[in-house]
Every structure is written in C-alpha cells, then in structure tokens.
Amino acid sequence: FKQAKEDVIVRAVSSPKTLARAKELKLADETFGYDEIDQWVEGSDVILLCTPISIILSTLEKLSKRTPSHPILVSDIGSTKAEICKAGAALKAPFRFVGSHPMAGSEKHSVEFNDPSLFENAYWFVCPPAGTSACDYKALSEMISFVGAEQVVFPPEHHDQTVAWVSHMPQMASSSLAANIPARLLDNGYQHFAGRAFRDMTRIAASSWAMWKDIAETNKPEILRAMDEYIAGLQETRQAIEKLPTDEDYLHRIFSQGNAGRASLFAPGKNANNSFFQLTVQLKDEPGSILAVLEPLAKAELNVRDIELMKVRENIAGTLLIAFKTEAQANAARELLRSLNFEVTER
C-alpha cells in the first residue's frame, strides 16, 4: 500500500525482524509488536488483517472485546471468508467489519518478496454483511483500487464455494503431484528431466503449510467437494485412455472440453489477471541478450509490466515474454524491436 500511495500512513504489526526490514524498505511508517494491540487500534482508520487465518480469527476475537474511541473499518485478506465474516460480525460499533480476499499472491513469503504490482489487475473479493452500503466500506474499496485491483462483491459462502474450485483444490492437486513423484524416478534423479509443464503444475507445491493448513481447516467441505469432482474427472480421463485405440473419440472429447475450459479463462474483458498485451521475443544465445531487448524499450519509455524467460536451453536461443498495459505500447514495442532485427510475435 505504501508503494502504491505514499501519503497513506502504514502502521505495521509483525515480528521485530520483519518490522525492522519493513522500515528499512520504507514500507511502514510506524511499527508495533504482536501484543501491542491497544496501541495499534487507537488512531487507526482502517485495520487490515494479513496474517494466517487462525491468527485473523484470534485477532477478531480480541477486537470484539474492545471499544475504540473512534470509527474503524476492519477487514482482512484471508483466503476463506465464511468463518472469518462470522467472527467479524461479533465486532461492536464503532468497529465495522467487511471481509475481503485478493485473488493474487505467491508461493513465496516474507517481506523480501514485496511486489508493488502484485495486485495490479487482480480480482479482489469483498464480502460485506447483508444490508451494508458501499459507503460503509469506501476506504477498503479505495485501497483496492489504488493497488490496481478490481473489486468484486460476493457473499462469503459463495466466495468459499468458488475459490475451493479455482484456488484451493488446485493447490491440493499441485501438492499431491509433487508429493507423489515415485521413488523409481527420484532414486535416479529423473525428476530433473521435468519440462515446463510439470514445473508450472507444481509451482504452488512450494506454498507455506502455515497458510494452507488454515485454509483447509476453514473450507474443508467445499475443498473435499471440489477434489471429488476433480478426481472423478481424472478417473474419466483414465478410462478414456483405457478405451484406446478402439474409442478415440472419448479422449478427444475430454481434450476438446479441456481446450474450451482453458480458453474460457482468457475471455476478453473477464481475465483481470492477464489483461496485459503480450509479445514474445527470440533471444540470441549470447551475453547481454536480455539487456539488448530491454534497453531500447526503456529508452523509448515503454514500461514493461510483466516479463518471463520462457525457454532457456544451452546453445539454443531463449524466448522472452514481455507484457504491456496498453495495446498501443505493445504495438510500439513490437515495431521498435523489429526495427532492431528482433523476431517478435504477438501472443
């Protein structure tokens, strides 16, 4: 928040080590220890609880026993909402609780991985209690918009059912995939042959247990339902493979449905997270090749909003993916790089 809007006073509550680093990085103006709750409550306009869910719940319990001297909007970023919103409803005026959850994050955790563009173009769920007016949580909506995210209002139960499928079950699938590499591969070090697909599918297997334990505990029935549906799908795919080569259509149908499901994620105007305009650039296999692409873009003031090195193999040129906020910037970058003899493709 501090990186997005300098004039906001950020009062951070964390461990001494994290607080010292947050101050050094100019991410916090004032700092408080975990047990200094009365000090950080008084004088705050908005409290955003960003801890693991179990700590969000215990902090809400502590807040429910307090009555501040002025109105305070309390929210959180926990990945499940029903249980948290129920606990938040116990807060007494002048507190007001509205739960929230940004659909952006990372498997990496600690203040070192702070990223000012993390929430840019991401959906951010807001779950106000029934009867709340948008004016009552204006400060939260403003915070969401100044970090570049897009607010969506959902009832907490509806939120939990939805994210069980699009976030929680995929985490379990990724962890299970990485946890089940058979010994016949591991013992020979054959996992190192994994291509991008396996690496992509297991990226979030590096996620924090402290965070996911609480998510699994507070959204258990919905995660189980989503996993059952996914397992049924996997079993059907297995059956379709068994039917080969006599019934090719069966597996073909599943692949067509998969193509359509994947394409639906990128429906124009719907895909907040991927609304950038992307180009791929072929790199030469020589020192400074990435700089040779980025330097002219910087000189032309074309702001690269996302970057990914897609393929790097020895003796083979790599592919660099670069993304821009507007189509005009992507077009200008494409023409500039082509004029410098780079092979550029639109994505």
Ligand X SMILES: O=C(O)C(=O)C[C@]1(C(=O)O)C=C[C@@H](O)C=C1
Ligand Y SMILES: NC(=O)c1ccc[n+]([C@@H]2O[C@H](COP(=O)([O-])OP(=O)(O)OC[C@H]3O[C@@H](n4cnc5c(N)ncnc54)[C@H](O)[C@@H]3O)[C@@H](O)[C@H]2O)c1
Of the ranges 23-31, 57-65, 105-113, 230-238, which one interacts with ligand X (CB under 6 A)? 105-113
- Binding residue for ligand X (CB under 6 A) from 57, 63, 91, 103? 103
Burial 150-179 (b: 16+ CB within 10 A, else e): bbeebebeebbbebbbebbbebbbbbeebe
Size of the site for ligand Y (CB under 6 A): 22
Binding track, positions 20-59, relative to ligand Y; x by CB under 6 A: --------------x---------------xxxx-xx---
Name the minimum Å distance from CB 304 to ligand X. Answer: 20
Task: Based on the shown chain and the rule CB under 6 A, indicate whether residue 219 belongs to the binding site for ligand X.
Answer: no
C-alpha distances in angstroms, 329 versus 278, 304, 345? Answer: 10, 9, 14
C-alpha distances in angstroms, 242 versus 22, 198, 235, 246? Answer: 55, 23, 11, 9
- The footprint of ligand X on residues 125-184 (CB under 6 A) is 167
- If residue 279 lies in a helix (H) or strand (E), which one and from where to where? strand 277-282
C-alpha distances in angstroms, 212 versus 106, 169, 224, 273? Answer: 12, 11, 14, 22
Name the minimum Å distance from CB 281 to ligand Y. Answer: 29
Q: Contact, 78 vs 142, CB < 8 A?
A: no
As given in the structure block, the two tokens for residue 293 are 């692409």
Q: Which stretches of 29-167 are DSSP H helices? A: 37-41, 53-63, 82-88, 138-146, 156-163
Name the minimum Å distance from CB 337 to ligand X. Answer: 29
Name the minimum Å distance from CB 49 to ligand X. Answer: 14
53 binds, among ligand Y, ligand X, none (CB under 5 to 8 A by kind): ligand Y
Task: Based on the shown chain and the rule CB under 6 A, indicate whether residue 15 belongs to the binding site for ligand Y.
Answer: yes
Task: Based on the shown chain and the rule CB under 6 A, indicate whether residue 77 belongs to the binding site for ligand Y.
Answer: yes
167 binds, among ligand Y, ligand X, none (CB under 5 to 8 A by kind): ligand X
Rounded-to-integer distance, Cα 31 and Cα 34, Å? 10
As to burial, measured by CB atoms within 10 angstroms (0-12 exposed, 13-18 middle, 19+ buried), residue 113 is: exposed
Task: Based on the shown chain and the rule CB under 6 A, indicate whether residue 79 belongs to the binding site for ligand X.
Answer: yes
Q: Contact, 71 vs 94, CB < 8 A?
A: yes
198 binds, among ligand X, ligand Y, none (CB under 5 to 8 A by kind): none
Please report the beta strands in 154-262, taking only residues with DSSP state E, as ranges in sequence order: none
Residue 137 carries which DSSP code?
A: G
204 binds, among ligand X, ligand Y, none (CB under 5 to 8 A by kind): ligand X
Name the minimum Å distance from CB 341 to ligand X. Answer: 36
- Binding residue for ligand X (CB under 6 A) from 164, 204, 322, 323? 204
Q: Please, which residue, 20 or 227, has the CB nearer to ligand X? A: 227
Nearest residue to ligand Y by CB is 105
Residue 165 carries which DSSP code?
A: I
Q: Please, which residue, 220 or 252, has the CB nearer to ligand X? A: 220
- C-beta atoms surrounding 71 within 10 Å: 11
Binding track, positions 213-252, relative to ligand Y; x by CB under 6 A: --x-------------------------------------
Task: Based on the shown chain and the rule CB under 6 A, indicate whether residue 49 belongs to the binding site for ligand X.
Answer: no
Closest CA to 329 of 275, 272, 277: 277
The residues of the shown chain that bind ligand X, judged by CB under 6 A, are 79, 103-107, 167, 204
The residues of the shown chain that bind ligand Y, judged by CB under 6 A, are 13-15, 18, 34, 50-53, 55-56, 77-79, 101-102, 105-106, 109, 208, 211, 215
